[in-house]
């Protein structure tokens, strides 16, 4: 979908161009990237959307901001659904719908794929790499420890081609309030600025919201000289919302873990998505609040966001502090009516 849109607006994509560093020149109102081969590319604005291991933190924060292991990993795979349906038990349990589309339940496939994702404790063998493949037997070792795990799910795992399954290490990073470089000509987007756990159900969504918000803010810039204002306003409008949702993922991770092997109360482990999460329009929000947010940035006055849980006051947090407070039953950023 992204590639189709880029083609429509005439933007080309260059592949195999690994970015090793970012830079900006405030005097010339330019920024750029250094590629692994030493070549450079410059622009009025650079968007660093290169994930949790991106190279932009040295410029953004003046130092590396390393991500650390969450203690969990996730088995991930997608393979042709025809392979899975060769097993008669799978074919009976997951029959294709009348129009030929696959049945969607605990895992969701496209028209031509069977896929599954299983979060599990990281034993130290997982890696944050799409090239780290493991044999399906590794998944079966884990599912054997889960009480009540259905045999048909094991059959889906056994049908997986041995060279496709990824064991992805789940990383996280404490919330970082600043996603822009000192001159605000480089701005982070998605996991590059805010890592999410799968339990948040919001990682990809917030990257898309980032993109929409950033585009809306840039549309308010009257000239190249106003681009730094646009990226800083975007950062101000987005940080607290994203930080709340990062914490939400940690909260739901605890819920999932509490019922994984103990047959816990299913209702207790349901992930709740409040209206403030799913009904937010980041474009409208950016356009409506741009001028006020800009004035607050220029004057140093506080800006009150309204794209966060209603009635919940934001308070800064760290992962270790949040987990420790939860364990002690102390107040955290997660208190309040999130539904």
Could you tell me the two tokens for 256?
A: 């999932």
Please classify residue 146 by burial: count the beta carbons closer than 10 Å to its beta carbon, then call 0-12 exposed, 13-18 middle and 19+ buried: middle
One of 30, 76, 155, 173 is an active-site residue; which one? 76
Contact assessment for residue 170 and residue 198, using Cβ atoms and an 8 Å cutoff:
yes
Do strands 30-35 and 40-43 pair parallel, antiparallel, or not at all (unpaired)? antiparallel
Contact assessment for residue 66 and residue 111, using Cβ atoms and an 8 Å cutoff:
no
Q: How many CA atoms lie within 13 A of 238 on its CB side?
A: 34
The whole-angstrom separation of Cα 315 and Cα 282 is 22
CA 183 to chain centre: 26
Rg of the chain over all Cα atoms, to the nearest angstrom = 22
3-state secondary structure of 34: strand
The whole-angstrom separation of Cα 235 and Cα 177 is 8
Residue 319 has a CB neighbour count (10 Å cut-off) of 16
Contact assessment for residue 231 and residue 180, using Cβ atoms and an 8 Å cutoff:
yes
> Among 157, 161, 145, which residue's Cα sits nearest to residue 260?
145
Could you tell me the two tokens for 90?
A: 């799978």
* 3-class SS letters over 94-116: CCCCCCCCCCCCCCCCCCCEEEE
253 is known as an active-site residue: no
CA 65 to chain centre: 17
Could you tell me the two tokens for 169?
A: 């290490």
Active-site positions read 76
């Amino acid at each position: 979908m992204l590639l189709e849109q880029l083609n429509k607006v005439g933007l080309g994509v260059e592949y195999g161009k690994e970015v090793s560093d970012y830079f900006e020149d405030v005097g010339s109102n330019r920024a750029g990237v250094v590629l692994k081969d030493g070549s450079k590319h410059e622009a009025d604005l650079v968007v660093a959307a290169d994930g949790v291991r991106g190279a932009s933190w040295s410029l953004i924060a003046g130092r590396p901001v390393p991500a650390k292991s969450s203690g969990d990993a996730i088995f991930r795979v997608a393979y042709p659904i025809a392979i899975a349906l060769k097993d008669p038990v799978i074919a009976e349990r997951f029959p294709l719908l009348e129009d030929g589309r696959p049945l969607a339940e605990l895992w969701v496939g496209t028209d031509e794929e069977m896929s599954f994702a299983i979060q599990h404790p990281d034993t130290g063998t997982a890696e944050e790499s799409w090239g780290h493949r493991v044999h399906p037997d590794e998944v079966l070792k884990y599912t054997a420890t889960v009480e009540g795990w259905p045999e048909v799910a094991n059959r889906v795992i056994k049908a997986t081609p041995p060279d496709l399954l990824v064991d992805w290490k789940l990383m996280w990073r404490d919330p970082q309030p600043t996603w822009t470089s000192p001159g605000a000509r480089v701005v982070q987007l998605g996991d590059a600025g805010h890592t999410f756990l799968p339990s948040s159900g919001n990682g990809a969504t917030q990257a898309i919201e980032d993109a929409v918000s950033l585009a809306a803010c840039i549309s308010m810039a009257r000239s190249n000289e106003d681009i730094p204002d646009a990226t800083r306003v975007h950062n101000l409008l987005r940080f607290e919302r994203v930080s709340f949702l990062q914490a939400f993922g940690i909260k739901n991770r605890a819920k999932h873990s509490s019922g994984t092997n103990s047959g816990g109360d299913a209702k207790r482990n349901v992930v709740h998505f409040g209206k403030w999460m799913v009904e937010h329009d980041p474009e409208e929000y950016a356009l409506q609040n741009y001028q006020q947010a800009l004035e607050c940035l220029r004057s140093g006055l506080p800006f009150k966001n309204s794209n966060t849980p209603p009635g919940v006051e934001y308070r800064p947090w760290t992962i270790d502090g949040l987990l420790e407070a939860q364990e002690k039953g102390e107040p955290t950023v997660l208190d309040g009516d999130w539904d």
